[in-house]
Structure 1
Amino acid sequence: MRKKRLEIINFVNLSDEKYRKILEYRNQEYVRTVSNSPEPITVKQHEAYREALKKRDKFFAFLITCDGADYAVINLKKLDDGSFYLGYYLTDELYKFEGGGVAVHNCMMYICDRLKIKLISYDIKPENSRVFRVGQGGEDIAVSGSSEALHHLVRLYSYDDERVKNSKSAKLFNKIYEIKGGDFS
């Protein structure tokens, strides 16, 4: 069986047309439902985000393609505590039924390892039941929250750590996918 080829593309290197397509993906109802801000993103907000990404120290965003087709988006924003807030979504809701969570989780681990990000923060809303069920990537340092969302602060393991390599997620990922390029410039 041929593995699916994943490529990681830095948002700052996307064409204007491709960057506009990202806005369409982000504003899909199923993405907005589980996002911190369920309101649609405006073109003006989207362009302001692109400018912030050019600073390359506080914000990172990547488009993941699978065999050349847009597959997922991973966003990272540096917080005051030194962690990076993680957000991600699949570009098509149906991808979650074909291993999309496994692909995104492993790409996130790969990206964080390459950027030397050791701490991530993320929120899990009750309506987003699929988040991080896909594998062990680190250990919780703190968990807090309310009925609206649980906030996690996680110390990540290295991408090459045996706990990661031997996880069910990594084993499944290695059967289905391969990362063939990463644009971290």
Structure 2
Amino acid sequence: MMLPRLLRASESVDRLDGVTEKLAHRLRRLLRGNVVDDALRGAWIGHPAHPLIITVPIGAWVCSAAFDALGDREAARRLIAIGALTAPAAVITGLAEFSHLSTVQRRVGALHLTANLVAQTCYLASHRCRTRGSHSAGILWSALGLAAVAAGGALGGHLSYALGAGVYEWQEGPEH
């Protein structure tokens, strides 16, 4: 299987280390473990908030594809807008988590962030095209955005499930 190998390869992109370390350091300095940091990172629910919050833009964008397939242009356009408006909350909570990742996790996290920023850009372009009446161009941008969301989601899943980012941070761990 090629996908697991690609995901593991993302862990070795050490050219990102200088940039990701600086970003993590600045984020830690900005948040400084205060109440905002705790809120953004999910202390209020006992686990990272980011995986919960990302369901809104991802869900909206996936549903927009379904409405495109059904021919409901207006519903698709509105769902793209909902995704674009809620994605910044996912980015902010993700960056708060990023500030606490290990070096290898930050490598994957940076690629995850990049893929999702590409997705957001594609969906903004799609919404703009649709608003201006170019539905076919909007569908093309949405398809590219959905591909980027899929790549970002695969990297995010790898970050959480294979690399354990954020696992058991707010609690003791599973009881046996």
TM-score bracket, shorter-length normalisation: under 0.3
Structure number with the higher strand fraction is 1
User: Normalization by structure 2: what TM-score?
Assistant: 0.26
Structure number with the higher helix fraction is 2
User: Normalization by structure 1: what TM-score?
Assistant: 0.25
Larger Rg: 2
